[in-house]
Amino acid sequence: AGGQDQLGSELDVMNRQEYAQCVTRRAEIVGFNNQTDLNNPDLLGQGTNWQDALFRNALTTDHSLAVGGGTEDTQYRISGGYTYQQGVAIESDFERYSLRINLDNQTTDWLEVGTSLNISRTIENISVSEDDLIITAIRQRPNVPVRTPGGGVGGPDQANFQLNNPVGLA
């Protein structure tokens, strides 16, 4: 299946029936590599849309709190923040905690002293760049299930081109 002609349109993903038709037709043309389990595309379901299985709508939350005050000669400001972003690929996310303290003091008419302290902690789980998950999801065959009936991670059989299961990798 191909994409639409307009720029910016969503790319169609080849489903299991279309993949079976393509593989069967290729085997007819080249004269070998017929996959008998794909010979009757009408009996097959839609198969796995790997992009739907791997990607998700991602949420972002951002919170901050600041307190400031002081006197004519000394001012302070303390602020803290928390950011959480889900990644668009499953099992990926970003989390950050931050704290900032500013202190300024007008010691004399001609001298002002100030200091600031920034502390942050970042926790990042990036699954999309590991093992080229996006490329694997795009290239994986639609007749490979995400999960096996026993609950394990699905994968292609040994007779065919091997790609890892992108959901299992994530």
Q: How does the average pLDDT of the chain come out, rounded? A: 77
Proportion of the chain above pLDDT 70, given as a percent: 66
DSSP reduced 3-state for 37: helix
Please state the pTM of the whole predicted model.
Answer: 0.60
Averaged pLDDT, 41-70: 82
The C-alpha torsion from 36 through 41 and 44 to 47, rounded to 10°, is 100
- Which helix (H) or strand (E) segment holds residue 168: the answer is helix 166-169
pLDDT in tens, 59-68: 999 999 999 9
CA 96/CA 120 separation, integer angstroms: 7
pLDDT in tens, 90-115: 888 999 999 999 999 999 999 999 99
Q: Which of 136, 69, 60, 145 is nearest to 102 (CA)?
A: 69
Residues forming a β-bridge with 153: 147
* pLDDT given for residue 88 in this prediction: 83
